[in-house]
A and B are shown apart, each in its own frame.
Chain A
Amino acid sequence: AQSVSQHNHHVILSEAASLELGCNYSYGGTVNLFWYVQYPGQHLQLLLKYFSGDPLVKGIKGFEAEFIKSKFSFNLRKPSVQWSDTAEYFCAVNGDNRDDKIIFGKGTRLHILP
Chain B
Amino acid sequence: DTAVSQTPKYLVTQMGNDKSIKCEQNLGHDTMYWYKQDSKKFLKIMFSYNNKELIINETVPNRFSPKSPDKAHLNLHINSLELGDSAVYFCASSLQRTSGGFFLRTDTQYFGPGTRLTVL
Contact = CB atoms under 8 A, between A and B. Distances in A.
Answer yes or no: are A and B bound together in one complex: yes
Contacts of B55: 98-99
Interface stretch (A13-21, A43-51, A64-72, A75-83): A43-51
Contacts of A61: none
A30 B56 CA distance: 19
Interface in B75-104: 90, 92, 96, 103-104
Given A42-B113, A44-B90, A88-B41, A49 B108 contact: yes
A6 B110 CA distance: 21
B66 interface: no
A94 B55 CA distance: 14
Interface majority SS (helix, strand, loop, mixed), chain B: strand
A7 B105 CA distance: 28
A38 to B, nearest CB: 8
The range of chain A's interface size is: 20 to 34
B108 A101 contact: no
B103 A43 contact: no
A39 B110 CA distance: 15
B26 interface: no
Contacts of A32: 105-106
Given A101-B56, A107-B42, A46 B108 contact: yes
Interface residues of B, number: 25
B14 interface: no
A34 interface: yes
A99 B42 CA distance: 21
A40 to B, nearest CB: 11
B113 A98 contact: no
A94 B113 contact: no
Given A43-B113, A43-B114, A46-B108, A98 B103 contact: yes
A51 B105 contact: yes
6 contacts: A42-B113, A45-B111, A98-B50, A98-B96, A98-B103, A99-B56
